[in-house]
Amino acid sequence: MTDHDTLQPLQDVGEGFHGRTLLLIGCEVSPPTNHLLAVGAQTCPSREQQPQDYIDDLRAQGALTFLAHPHDRGVPLAKLPSYRWDAWPVGRYTGIEIWNHLSDWSGNLGRLPRAVRGAAKPHTFLTGPAPETLALWDAVGQARRVVGIGGLDVHDVKIGRSPLQLRIFPYPYAFRTILCHVLVPAWPETPEEAKAILLSSIAAGRLFFANHAMGDARTLSFRALNGSGAEIAAMGDEFAAGKKLHLALTSPKLADLRLVRDGQEIARTFGRDLSHEVQAPGVYRAELRVRRGRRLYPWVFTNPIYLR
């Protein structure tokens, strides 16, 4: 959990296991624009600093940093500002929050037909990551690994009084929507060891993010296989191009499966498996969409496998 400009919950609550759930406390540096999410930090830098300075400050602490909702559109109808990232160029961050639940939701509020449908069926409201954010991710990935994550940005805002109170995303609802699935080599029982493994796996890009409301994505796999079918790379890996290999995507359920290289679709099928031979350098990642009725809804986005 990352509250705005404070790590006070480290003192008030502390990190550790609550039942089977490991709670880690981070912060979100939150000036008017250029929000930065940090996990693994000891102090939350001042939001008065320049963005590159708070990125470097957190990096020096060993924290992971993510540009938050970089293309947030705000809500023009409600005169809410855009919390976009505008301090370009910027570098040395761990990754980018590619899909932000609040940003996706609020950005669609001004479109009335969608808003009416969304009120009746909240799962139909999300349109997926902003195309500009995906394009940014594909572009910066050409030079180095940039970890993509999904986030909730949930505030559980209460409007009005009971029984007519409107709550914009209570936690029990939100935690069943956009989730990051991190692939860890082991899951130790001590919180310190579990935290270390979790953060190093995230830093290595071994994760995908999915809207759980569209289906449980936990058994998804996206790997690079050699000619004999042995795994030679997983999500987040960077390795030398040259030999032919297969990118293999397996979905837990029927979906629209797409492979993307440097932002361009290179293979697509409707099914549970997609295998595609590649050899050229590129940033390769997968997107999955679920069909409901005649529409496709965004479901899963993997981190890339990088051929250099």
Which stretches of the chain bind Zn ion, using CB under 5 A?
A: 35, 68
Of 60, 64, 58, 61, whose CA–CA distance to 46 is shortest? 58
Q: Between residues 38 and 68, which has the closer beta carbon with respect to Zn ion?
A: 68
Closest approach of Zn ion to the CB of residue 84, in Å: 10
Q: Between residues 68 and 147, which has the closer beta carbon with respect to Zn ion?
A: 68
Closest approach of Zn ion to the CB of residue 103, in Å: 8
Q: Between residues 75 and 266, which has the closer beta carbon with respect to Zn ion?
A: 75
d(CA 164, CA 244): 60
Closest approach of Zn ion to the CB of residue 28, in Å: 5
Burial 107-127 (b: 16+ CB within 10 A, else e): bbbeeeeeeeebeeeeebbbb
Closest approach of Zn ion to the CB of residue 178, in Å: 15
Which residue has the closest beta carbon to Zn ion?
A: 35
Angle formed at CA 42 by CA 36 and CA 47, multiple of 5 degrees: 35
Write phi, then psi, for 211 (nearest 5 degrees): -85, 105
Closest approach of Zn ion to the CB of residue 136, in Å: 17
Q: Between residues 177 and 251, which has the closer beta carbon with respect to Zn ion?
A: 177
Q: Between residues 87 and 296, which has the closer beta carbon with respect to Zn ion?
A: 87
The secondary structure of residue 220, as a DSSP letter, is -
Please give the radius of gyration of the chain, using alpha carbons only, rounded to the nearest integer: 19
